[in-house]
């Protein structure tokens, strides 16, 4: 029996190792009993799975885990740094005339990509107030709408990740060595392949630790997003500025985290 059906691709790179798959409808296999009353939704909802494939060689396997751990640490640090970067961005925008009509596009070119993109989106948010050429359907508005849609999709995934039970699986060279069901309130049920060495068990334990940490980092990203949006809102005269700035802040954070990958800190990013 193929216990885990094929994954559906997550729409967001932010959730790279976390994948979402539909709960199987096979009789006798109920994944949702442990999900705190979510049984009725079992057929409709996809549940989050963290599946880690490690090489057979123990040293190489540990190296992969170690690199992932570094990324988690770097992601956490990058998140902590976001408020300061947003402050700098606000100061920069103010010094260069804000995000309204006087905003000069060439200014954005000198900024790192997350900052430049955020300014562009904020600029677009301000555009509808100043002329008809920025009506719905224009390129400017499309970028904004994409950011909004992506934010909503990511939030759906995040909600599932936090409020649903999750599966964490560790495989070594295609062999499943450990599987843990993380109850939505924190209970852990772990299944081990018999005959594992302590080192092999440690691989799954580390994988589980990273999965839990990455889930928490993603949730923490929401906290940082809300705070960042409040800061960015000072640049907006558009009504509802703080709310509208949330997708902008979220995109900024995603790009900051994606930068970690660009700088080749590791080969794969779990968050």
Partner 1 sequence: MSNDNLLILNGINGASGEYDLPPQRPQDVARVARGLPLDLAEKQDIQIRRAVDQQSIASFGSLQSAEHFGLVEGKDPKDLSQAGWGVIFPSGLEARQLAALKEALQPLLAHRQAQAAAAVAHYYKECSGELGYQTGKSKNDFLKLHGRGPGVADPEKLPYYLLIAGDPEQIPYSFQYQLDVQYAVGRVFFESYEDYYRYAVSVVEAEKQGYKLKKKAAFFGAANPDDGATQLSAQHLIAPLAEHIRTEKPEWQVQVNQAEKAYKKDLDQLLRSKDAPAFLFTASHGMAFPSGDPRQIPHQGALLCQDWPGPKAHKGRIPENFYFTGEDLASDANLLGTLAFFFACYGAGTPRLDDFNRIAFKDKNEIAPRAFLSQLPTRMLAHPNGGALAVVGHVERAWGYSFVWEGVGEDLTTFESTLTRLMDGHPIGSALEHFNSRYAELASDLTTELDETDEETQNVVKIAGMWTANHDARNYMVIGDPAVRMMASKQASPPQERASIAETLGRAPQVSSIVVTPAPGAVQAASGPAVGTMAAVDYGLGDTLASLRGGLQQLGSKLGDFLSQALDDATSLEVSTYVSDNIAAVKYEKGQFTGARLRALTRVNIDGDTIVCVPEEDGEVDIELWNVHLQMLQQAQASRSELLKTAVSAVTGLTGLLKP
The smaller minimum CB distance to partner 1, of residues 73 and 267, is found at: 73
| C-alpha gyration radius of the chain | 21
Q: Would you say 31 and 24 are in contact if contact means Cβ atoms under 8 Å apart? A: yes
Q: What is the distance of C-alpha 134 from the center of its chain?
A: 31
Q: What is the greatest pairwise CA distance in the chain?
A: 71
Residue 174 interacts with partner 1 (CB under 8 A): yes or no: no
Residue 46 interacts with partner 1 (CB under 8 A): yes or no: no
Single residue of 150, 193, 255, 265 touching partner 1 by CB under 8 A:
193
State the Cα angle at 141 between 10 and 79, rounded to 5°.
Answer: 50
The smaller minimum CB distance to partner 1, of residues 113 and 150, is found at: 150
Residue 233 interacts with partner 1 (CB under 8 A): yes or no: yes
Site string for partner 1, 103-142 (x = CB under 8 A): ----------------------x--xxx---xxx------
Q: Would you say 160 and 45 are in contact if contact means Cβ atoms under 8 Å apart? A: yes
Residue 152 interacts with partner 1 (CB under 8 A): yes or no: yes
Residue 246 interacts with partner 1 (CB under 8 A): yes or no: yes
The smaller minimum CB distance to partner 1, of residues 45 and 261, is found at: 45
The strand ranges marked E within 9-120 are 18-22, 46-54
How many alpha carbons lie under 13 Å from residue 21 in its C-beta half-sphere?
18
Residue 28 interacts with partner 1 (CB under 8 A): yes or no: yes
> Which window, 61-69, 72-80, 105-113, 182-190, contacts partner 1 (CB under 8 A)?
182-190
175 backbone dihedrals φ, ψ, rounded to 5°: -100, 125
Residue 48 interacts with partner 1 (CB under 8 A): yes or no: no
Residue 114's contacts (CB-CB under 8 Å, 6 or more residues apart) are: 85, 251, 252, 255, 256, 259
| Beta bridge partners of residue 8, listed in sequence order | 20
Q: Is 201 helix (H, G, I), strand (E, B) or coil?
A: helix
Residue 155 interacts with partner 1 (CB under 8 A): yes or no: yes
Q: To the nearest whole angstrom, how small is the minimum distance from the Cβ of residue 109 to partner 1?
A: 25
Q: Would you say 255 and 113 are in contact if contact means Cβ atoms under 8 Å apart? A: yes
Residue 63 interacts with partner 1 (CB under 8 A): yes or no: no
Single residue of 137, 186, 263, 264 touching partner 1 by CB under 8 A:
186
> Which window, 11-19, 54-62, 74-82, 147-155, contacts partner 1 (CB under 8 A)?
147-155
């Amino acid at each position: 029996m193929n216990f885990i059906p094929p994954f559906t691709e997550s729409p967001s790179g932010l959730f790279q190792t976390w994948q979402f798959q539909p709960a199987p409808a096979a009789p006798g296999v109920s994944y949702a009993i442990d999900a705190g009353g979510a049984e009725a939704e079992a057929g409709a909802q996809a549940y989050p799975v963290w599946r880690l494939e490690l090489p057979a060689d123990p040293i190489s396997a540990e190296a992969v885990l170690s690199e992932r751990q570094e990324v988690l640490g770097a992601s956490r640090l990058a998140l902590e740094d976001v408020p300061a970067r947003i402050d700098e961005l606000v100061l920069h925008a103010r010094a260069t005339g804000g995000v309204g009509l006087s905003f000069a596009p060439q200014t954005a070119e000198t900024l790192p990509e997350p900052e430049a993109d955020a300014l562009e989106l904020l600029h677009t948010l301000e555009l509808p107030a100043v002329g008809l050429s920025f009506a719905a359907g224009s390129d400017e508005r499309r970028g904004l709408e994409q950011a909004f849609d992506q934010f909503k999709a990511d939030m759906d995934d995040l909600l599932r990740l936090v409020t649903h039970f999750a599966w964490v699986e560790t495989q070594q060279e295609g062999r499943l060595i450990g599987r843990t069901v993380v109850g939505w309130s924190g209970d852990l049920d772990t299944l081990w392949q018999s005959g594992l060495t302590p080192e092999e068990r440690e691989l799954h334990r580390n994988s589980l630790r990273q999965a839990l940490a990455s889930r928490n980092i993603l949730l923490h990203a929401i906290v940082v997003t809300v705070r960042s949006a409040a800061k960015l809102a000072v640049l907006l005269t558009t009504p509802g500025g703080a709310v509208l700035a949330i997708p902008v802040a979220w995109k900024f954070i995603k790009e900051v985290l994606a930068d970690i990958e660009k700088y080749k800190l590791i080969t794969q990013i779990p968050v």
